[in-house]
Homo-oligomer: A and B are copies of this chain.
Amino acid sequence: MSNLMFDILFLGTGASIPSRKRSTSCLAVRQGRSISLFDCGEGSQRQLMMSQMSFMKIDRIFISHMHGDHILGLPGLLQTMGLSGRTKTVTVYGPNGLEHSLTDMLNACEGELKFEIQVIELKGGELFNFDEFTVSTFMTVHNVPSIGYVYREKDRPGTINKKKAEKLNLIPNEDFSRLKAGETVKGVSPEMVMGKPIKGCSMVYTGDTAPCDAVKKHANGVDLLIHEATYIEKDIELAKTYFHSTAKAAAEIALACNIGMLVLTHISNRYDDSEYSIAEAKAIFGNVIAPNDFQMLSVSRSNIRLV
């Protein structure tokens, strides 16, 4: 079993219109051998090619909402997977209307895919269970139906004290795996020979949203909150009009939720760089970053750091 940790690669950190510096929304989460993508703006396949992550290892794609800057990379990425010999199913999750949108985009181009695409439409409140983590969903507040995602690493059973266990006549592998599954073996309960469970890390990705209670509720206590911060306070009227957040609003939510680290993304191309966004947020919540495209966060219980 791999170490309890995951990597988050920021592939597109811009809002609505890309810029020289920022591609449109996309982030990749790698856990073990499998990659989950969150949003897939135009150009995401090429951003992946320019990064260290293999687009062929993407098993699932979570779409926050159906604005072009979050979905227009889907048909190209899926076609490239097909042309590269993919046969394994890709599952795409997103709000109501996703199936229709994806079908439209794929039908617009000639050519057929030779692998299955499974589409799962969401209403918020779903929980999906994978080998090493779960993903749950909640509705956010935008001008179209929009979904936020909670990514939660599963806790890992504590380490078995091998000497102690062998003294109690337990056999490695055979008995140990039963203990790890929570069983009592030969009269020995897990607590008698195992350390405390190792707690997994958790992350919320808001997608596009106005500041909202749903994020506050679902991000409570998470290690990492990736919150959109399209605007800064001087443009708050735009944020209100278009149901987006300012960096300040994102920081206020981070503070209220008692999270570990705040990550600002979806930065409008009207700002030269993210220093204003960071400064505004930092005044409220200290542990904040706004990654550039291709920066990667390594997330483990002991450390969350840019690599």
Which residues of A approach B to under 8 Å, CB–CB?
16-20, 23-24, 42-43, 45-46, 49-50, 65-69, 71-73, 75-76, 79-80, 83-84, 100-102, 104-105, 107-111, 144
Q: What residues of B have a CB within 8 angstroms of the CB of A42 in the complex?
A: 42-43, 45-46, 72-73, 76
Q: Are A110 and B20 in contact (CB under 8 A)?
A: no
Bound CA–CA A18/B43 (angstroms): 10
Bound CA–CA A50/B43 (angstroms): 14
Q: Which residue of B lies closest to A145 (CB)?
A: B110
Q: What residues of B have a CB within 8 angstroms of the CB of A16 in the complex?
A: 83
Q: Which of B72, B102, B108 contacts A102 (CB 8 A)?
A: B108
Q: Are B108 and A66 in contact (CB under 8 A)?
A: yes
Query: A108-B105, A110-B66 are known contacts. Are A75 and B72 too (CB-CB below 8 A)?
Result: yes
Query: A16-B83, A23-B46, A102-B108 are known contacts. Are A68 and B72 too (CB-CB below 8 A)?
Result: no
Q: What residues of B have a CB within 8 angstroms of the CB of A49 in the complex?
A: 18-20
Bound CA–CA A23/B46 (angstroms): 8
Tell me how many chains of this kind the complex includes.
2
Q: Which residue of B lies closest to A45 (CB)?
A: B18
3 smallest CB-CB distances across A and B, nearest first, come from A68-B109, A101-B108, A104-B104
Q: Are B76 and A109 in contact (CB under 8 A)?
A: no
Q: Are B43 and A109 in contact (CB under 8 A)?
A: no
Bound CA–CA A190/B121 (angstroms): 71
Task: Given A67-B110, A69-B79, output 20 extra A-B contacts at Cβ < 8 Å.
Answer: A16-B83, A17-B84, A19-B49, A20-B46, A24-B76, A42-B45, A42-B46, A66-B109, A68-B75, A68-B111, A69-B76, A71-B108, A72-B72, A72-B108, A100-B108, A101-B108, A101-B109, A104-B108, A105-B108, A110-B144
Q: Which residue of B lies closest to A68 (CB)?
A: B109
Q: Which of B50, B72, B80 contacts A76 (CB 8 A)?
A: B72
Q: Are B108 and A50 in contact (CB under 8 A)?
A: no
Q: Which residue of B lies closest to A105 (CB)?
A: B108
Q: What residues of B have a CB within 8 angstroms of the CB of A104 in the complex?
A: 104-105, 107-108
Q: Are A17 and B71 in contact (CB under 8 A)?
A: no
Q: What residues of B have a CB within 8 angstroms of the CB of A83 in the complex?
A: 16-17
Q: What residues of B have a CB within 8 angstroms of the CB of A111 in the complex?
A: 67-68
Q: What residues of B have a CB within 8 angstroms of the CB of A46 in the complex?
A: 18, 20, 23, 42-43
Q: Which residue of B lies closest to A143 (CB)?
A: B110
User: Can you pick out 29 interface pairs between chain A and chain B where the beta carbons lie within 8 Å of each other?
Assistant: A17-B83, A17-B84, A18-B45, A18-B80, A19-B49, A20-B46, A20-B50, A42-B45, A42-B73, A42-B76, A43-B43, A43-B46, A65-B110, A66-B109, A66-B110, A67-B109, A67-B110, A68-B75, A68-B111, A71-B109, A72-B72, A72-B76, A72-B108, A100-B108, A101-B107, A102-B108, A104-B104, A104-B107, A104-B108
